[in-house]
Amino acid sequence: MLRELKRVDEVLKEVLKYVSHRILSIRVRTYDAVGKILAEDVYARVDLPPFDRSAVDGYAVRSDDVVSASPSSPVILYLSKSSRVEPGHAVKVCTGDPLPDGADAVVMKEHVVERGEFIEVLKPVPRWGNVSRRGEDFKVGDLVLSRGSVVDNVSAAAMLATGNLEIEVFRPRIGIVCTGSEIVEPECLRDVKDVEEFSRRGIIVNTTRFLVKEVVESLGAEIEYYGIVPDNVDQISNAVSFLLERNDMVIVTGGTAVGDRDLTYSAILRLEPAYVWRGLAIRPAKPTGVAVVNGKPILMLSGFPVAAYVGFTVLGVPILCHMMGIEYRERTMLRGVLTRRVAKPPSLRAYVRVRACIDRRDGIVKVSPLALTGSGLLSTLIKGNAILEIPEELEGFEEGSQVWIRLVRDLNYCEE
């Protein structure tokens, strides 16, 4: 029974003292690293661009040669085939071509008339005009991407182009086991009739694992999914043990609501944890718990999808960051105006699901709390797109208040 609830910060502070296990990093080809978290600061190893290059189609020249050029009195240059631009000469170049030696600018095609072996330049060009200078994008030694960033295709491209063909990324491995004789895997259902049939027996589709997956995958983690184990202390304990050996963290969903049939807690006690706590002063996800065995964390999440999602976000994500030795960065928040009052019980931290939209006219973000607050309510995460956190000390916010929200899905325009 949850006799006492602790603040998230307090539990985090306690548990991190016991989590001694560290998440390994591995060296991978950079183009295979998309989605992973970078385990090192990556610096440019070559200049980008690697050479001065033409930014346009045109003619490489010496800028001094064309200072006086104008349509009425064009400068005439010899069109050379050489790879070097001598005084009085020009060399034809395409966008992206290395700038020939001797040249220090490119005259755009549009400002030139070609006359056989000569060209007429109609306009002057400043020194380095229409030239992308070597290293102007990244110079050797410039920071390209910092440790702790998630690699995407764009940053992978920048690392590759700066000579970083391999990079060091974290490889978190997370074991997940779902408990409960009252859930069934969607893989075991053929059609809606099966869903109805199971419902009649009080058995529901296991959706919680997908909510956990959504957050876990955003951290570039690999998931070992054990499946569902029935409500049996031995089986739960064995599954957790098995997963713990092979992974950096284990997540158990279900069985955390404290009833007589809650066996997850008992199963974890069997593993003689160095630390164990259950009961957070938050809503939803109050029965979230955490234990530490062999320096590795075990998270006990609710069987209810939304509570599992919140529980992992507030406890699991910071613990994983700690194990990678990277700074825990909360998703950035946006400021908006509350469209109606929202209240919560005292001394709990509430995570209220809200629908935020942006007003096309004034650019102001409008924040509407969703009426439903149940921890099982998936619709609040589909209809909603953000979380409004109300700290322990406050009772809520009045209509019209300026509040910070954390986006979990795309922001849309408000319907007029």
Q: State the Cα–Cα distance between residues 280 and 412, nearest whole angstrom.
A: 32
Least Å distance, CB 240 to its own copies, is 21
Nearer to its own copies, 26 or 154 (CB): 154
CA distance 3 to 247: 31
Q: How far is the CB of 304 from its own copies (least distance, A)?
A: 7
Farthest CA pair distance, the chain: 96
* Nearest C-alpha neighbor of 106 from the set 58, 64, 69: 58
**Least CB distance from residue 272 to its own copies, whole Å?**
26
- The amino acid present at 22, given as its one-letter code, is R
Q: What's the rounded Cα separation, in Å, for the pair 138 and 159? A: 10
Q: Are 54 and 97 in contact (CB under 8 A)?
A: yes
- In whole angstroms, the minimum distance from the beta carbon of 95 to its own copies comes to 4
3-state secondary structure of 321: helix
> Which of 39, 357 has the CB closer to its own copies?
357
Judged by beta carbon, residue 49 or residue 271, the one nearer its own copies is: 49
Nearest C-alpha neighbor of 311 from the set 333, 341, 291, 285: 285
Q: Give the nearer residue to its own copies in terms of CB position, either 65 or 262.
A: 262
Work out how close the CB of 97 gets to its own copies at its nearest, in angstroms, rounded to a whole number: 7
315: exposed, middle or buried (Cβ count in 10 Å: 0-12, 13-18, 19+) = buried
> Is the Cβ of residue 49 or residue 318 nearer to its own copies in the bound state?
49
Q: Write down the least CB distance from residue 46 to its own copies, Å.
A: 5
Query: Would you say 149 or 235 has its CB closer to its own copies?
Result: 149
SS3 150: strand
Query: At closest approach, how far in Å is the CB of 115 from its own copies?
Result: 16
DSSP label at residue 312: I
Tell me, what amino acid is at 387?
Answer: I
Cβ proximity to its own copies: between 16 and 334 the closer is 334
Q: Least CB distance from residue 181 to its own copies, whole Å? A: 11
Cβ proximity of 182 and 251 under 8 Å: no
Give dist(CA 320, CA 20) in Å, integer: 12
Q: How far apart are CA 290 and CA 12, in angstroms?
A: 9
Q: How far is the CB of 158 from its own copies (least distance, A)?
A: 4
Nearer to its own copies, 192 or 346 (CB): 192
**3-state SS assignment for residue 26:** strand
Cα–Cα distance measured from residue 283 to residue 299, given in angstroms and rounded to the nearest whole number: 17
- For the CB of residue 21, give the shortest distance to its own copies in the complex, in Å: 26
* Amino acid (one-letter) located at 17: K
Closest to its own copies by CB, 292 vs 403, is: 403
CA atoms within 13 A on the CB side of 341: 5
Name the pairing type of β-strands 25-29 and 166-170: antiparallel
Cβ atoms of 355 and 384 within 8 Å: the answer is yes
Q: How far is CA 88 from the centre of its chain?
A: 54
Closer to its own copies by CB, 49 or 172: give it: 49
